[in-house]
Amino acid sequence: MTDDAGTEPNADTAVAFVCVENAGRSQMAAAFAERELAERDLDGGITVVAGGTDPADHVHEVVVEAMGDVGIDVSDRQPRAITPDELATVEYVVTMGCSADDVCPATWRGDARDWALDDPGGQDLATVREIRDEIRRRASDLIDELVREQEEEASATHD
């Protein structure tokens, strides 16, 4: 059975973190979201993907260092392209400093947000740490919001 949006009740909520190179901000956002889900023991229910519209060859070294400072190793992550087909399957697209208009398929009807964050590429470590900390806060807030929505949806289906 599906709801009005055509999705399965209790189906995973998918969120995509997207930037141009997938070498900094979207990598940090995905890593923080994944850590939040693991720390809250929320296996399943929310899935996270990250990608770029023109991926770089590697994650920025300064991003690897800044994330290492908070115990997250992103050194083995590889920037990747995200496709319109992939984005068509997610409920939320979060861009890091660019509009989702050029990213989301024309028929996509999900929630698009732009976090308008500075690009850490070429920045000094102190600046990247500030960007990282803002991304951590926003990723945590987003997971809070998604969990609340799932709880409200579950409650409504049991009433």
pLDDT digits (tens, 9 = 90+) for 97-148: 876 566 665 556 678 899 999 999 999 999 999 999 999 999 999 999 999 9
Closest to 11 measured CA to CA, from 49, 47, 51:
47
Give tens-digit pLDDT for 48-78.
999 998 899 999 999 999 999 999 999 999 9
Please tell me the CATH code under which domain 13-146 is placed: 3.40.50.2300
CB 58 within 8 A of CB 30: no
